[in-house]
Amino acid sequence: MGIYLRPLRAIFNKALDNKDVEPEEYPFGRRKYRIPSAEKNVRWASKADYLRTLAAHPQNTDQERARDFLILSILCNDITPSDIAWLRFENLAGNILVISQTNEEGKRTGFSKSMVCVIPEEVIAIIAKHGNTQLHPKSFLFPILSDSMSPSQWHQKIEQFTKYLTFHIKALASIPLAFSQKSGK
């Protein structure tokens, strides 16, 4: 859509400069139509890491927790650690989870779409295992962030959580897998 609308915006900008169009008629800008940017498909682990992590057996509780969050991410349309950290109980509606992407201050980003995913039993088990004990709708789903933190502390905690998960997923993915091998002869 952007490849069609950016030239149109350039034409409008030239028309504004030449005073052919009144500023009130300009359709782009703040509180008017904004051209959406391209969607990024950012994964916080490679597909090989996903597969190796899912096949490996955790050796400690940190690896088990990281594996659980990776499974949650995969089952919830590949959400990021930041999205996981910002989840609140109000995002749950029965067996549906509504995820809206946020920035460091917890505000929805400009063109983010809300993702909706049906929660399988595995996700419910992960929420019960690692989730907050407070069931207030405004409280965070996982004990990563709290409302008493400042925006800079939120940012720090999300970075720390992401590094924690990445470190333990890579450690888990590097564990040699014990597959039974049959000889081809």
Tens of pLDDT, residues 16-54: 999 998 888 888 887 888 877 665 555 555 677 677 777
pTM value is: 0.68
Domain count, the chain: 2
- Residues 59 and 24 occupy one common structural domain: no
Provide the pairing of β-strand 114-118 with 96-100. antiparallel
Q: What pLDDT was estimated at residue 180?
A: 38
Given this model, what pLDDT does residue 155 score? Answer: 92
**One domain for residues 51 and 34:** no
Q: Give the separation between CA 128 and CA 36, rounded to whole angstroms.
A: 37
Q: Is residue 174 very low, low, confident or very high in pLDDT (cuts 50, 70, 90)?
A: confident
pLDDT over 90 at 2, yes or no:
no
pLDDT of residue 130: 94
Based on the domain organization, do 4 and 77 belong to the same domain? no
Predicted local distance difference test score (pLDDT) of residue 76: 86
Determine contact, residues 90/100, Cβ cutoff 8 Å: no
Tell whether 56 and 74 lie within a shared domain.
yes
Q: Which residue has the higher pLDDT, 108 or 123?
A: 123
Residue 181 pLDDT grade (very low, low, confident, very high; cuts 50, 70, 90): very low
Confidence grade of residue 125 (pLDDT, cut at 50, 70, 90)? very high
| 185 falls within a domain | no
For residues 149 and 107, membership in a common domain is answered with: yes
Same domain, 31 and 69: no
Our CA angle for 69, 72, 74, nearest 5°, is 110
Say yes or no: 24 and 79 in one domain.
no
What is the pLDDT at residue 46? 64
What's the mean pLDDT in 55-66? 90
On whether residue 105 sits in a domain, the answer given is yes
- pLDDT reported for residue 111: 52
pLDDT reported for residue 118: 86
- 153 and 85 fall within a common domain: yes
- Give me the domain span that covers residue 111: 47-173
At residue 145, the pLDDT reads 92
Contact yes or no for 71/126 (Cβ under 8 A): yes
Question: Is residue 55 located within the same domain as residue 34?
Answer: no
Check if the beta carbon of residue 76 is closer than 8 Å to that of residue 123.
Answer: yes
Average pLDDT, the chain: 81
Does residue 16 fall inside a structural domain?
yes
Does residue 32 sit in the same domain as residue 77? Answer: no
Check whether 77 has a pLDDT greater than 50. yes
Q: pLDDT category, 101, cuts 50, 70, 90? A: low
